[in-house]
Chains A and B, each alone.
Chain A
């Protein structure tokens, strides 16, 4: 028998299965303890409307993190899109125009990020930190003192409506999730962004135009943030200039919880989707139980740390032997792959 000296496939054995089990346990727990949680199944579905925007942000962010970069501006970008959609509706434009405008604005911000990062070669953390500030200013300025509210019912249906008890927002999310999985797992582009995250230099030598791919990834992330903005505005029936900073932490948490390596190159979008539901139902269940939203933030933070600690332990135990684990523990800085 020939033994190839290839390293074993790195992926955590059954990380997705672990997430599914946790999700099931959580749903059962909340159904038993909280009366209004399940509501014959439909209540549970209706709850998803609340965290679908986070899921959309997580999809875009997951692709960005797969390339080894990060996009801190997604949440602010979604707010900006919601403000533009609201303003367009307020000025009497139709639903379609408002939706397209919001997605266009999100895409434009993403494209700006991508261009600055790819062409000027500046670290994505810095660029998106800056654009986050700038976008925040633009959105509060456009929204003005009284953000637009009270939209037409055809627009609201996107965030609040349901087709056969399944919320439209959930359908949109699932559709885009399937599309993202198809792109990342099934296309040359998807494989190339994973390779960029695994090794930028290898990607360069392979003949991938890494700059173009990076630019495209940030643009896609922006477009998804635009869709999230539409759903936000439609769900709350008002533009959401203040929501921006709140959605970033849960979105990043969902991506990390979904097993995507923060340094890029490893991760599955499908597991991110499961993590979105896990995190979303957890926060909604806690809110229904009467915890404050800041307690939820706290739990989200703890979950983020806990998931990572667990993953690091998984990772270290993977090659089994105790001596190997100790060697790994003593090796320098395996975790400091990139600044921050």
Chain B
């Protein structure tokens, strides 16, 4: 009786099981599911339209999804803390307009433009952060209010004009491809997603966002500055939306007073598709990226299939419904969660 032999006979199945469990765990991840669905869509579309596979088309899709990706990334921070920000699209639009006028009329270069966009985003995000974390209004109402204010401001700032001349040196960032199918703008945006993922996964601040979103009362009792964490999430959402404004300028080479009106809800949709739950505490940075690329791929595939453009919002809506339907935890626990919410209020 050698124990070594026993161990040897026992180990492999154990190892095997662990591997298969890891496999199942991996397949359960929303990001993986979404990527799989994306591959199917790309394959089917390519089968019918060979041009879909062209690097130019892929570059277009990636560049197109970067604005929503940044907005969804900010929205992810907010949603992880169990909040919602309905105003990110308008923050993006306002940043695009102000930066755009500086570039158009005062020959601003790229680096100052990015900085200006970031500052505008932080200032506007500060408004949301103050309302939610200091004045303590319900996030949906506070950000609905700032949505009205910011989109009104967009109109005031443009004063009937619009941004339409962005120098080629900037717009080339959106059309140049460093590798076939990878636009330059993607290379600049990806680090932001990586940093966000690092912050969310490996810093005390990131973990405390999850804690607050999962159970604010528990987080409070564990000594987390709940309001400070929430404050920061709205600030970060503003910052990323401000940067998204600059990306929007680079990609579309223009901006008007209605820029970003439709992106508020698309950003939330992209984050939801990427697996970030509206009930807080679940999701991640890569989900935002994957979700927004998936959204753009699907919409592009729809127009390749000769669906009229008016059906694109319906596509977004259907994807949101599907994303929630496939998320069993978002459904079953709803009643229990609601009673938990009640408890805090009294």
Contact = CB atoms under 8 A, between A and B. Distances in A.
Interface string A26-48: 00000000000000000000000
A220 interface: no
A121 B331 contact: yes
Interface residues of A, number: 55
A339 B135 CA distance: 17
Interface in B7-59: none
A324 to B, nearest CB: 15
B308 interface: yes
B335 A301 contact: no
Contacts of B280: 339
B152 A295 contact: yes
Nearest to A201: B339
Contact of B138 (A116, A132, A263): A263
Interface in B320-346: 320-321, 324-325, 330-332, 334-335, 338-339, 341-342, 344-345
Interface in B62-85: 79, 82-84
Interface stretch (A13-21, A180-188, A302-310): A302-310
Most buried by A among B132, B146, B310, B316: B310
Given A129-B268, A137-B311, A249-B148, A335 B137 contact: yes
Interface in A284-340: 292, 294-295, 297-302, 304-305, 308-309, 312, 332-340
A126 B272 contact: yes
B130 to A, nearest CB: 10
A338 B140 CA distance: 9
B238 to A, nearest CB: 16
Interface residues of B, number: 66
A305 B146 contact: yes
A249 B90 CA distance: 14
A305 B216 contact: no
B82 to A, nearest CB: 5
Secondary structure at chain A's binding surface: helix, strand, loop or mixed?
Answer: helix
Given A309-B135, A332-B226, A302 B317 contact: no
B314 interface: yes
A224 interface: no
Given A125-B140, A140-B310, A292-B155, A133 B145 contact: no
B217 A302 contact: no
A200 B317 contact: no
A130 interface: yes
Contacts of A122: 324-325, 330-331, 334
Contacts of B279: 123, 339
B318 to A, nearest CB: 7
Given A132-B265, A335-B138, 5 more contacts: A121-B334, A301-B147, A302-B148, A312-B135, A339-B82
7 contacts: A123-B278, A126-B330, A133-B320, A245-B261, A256-B141, A339-B82, A339-B83
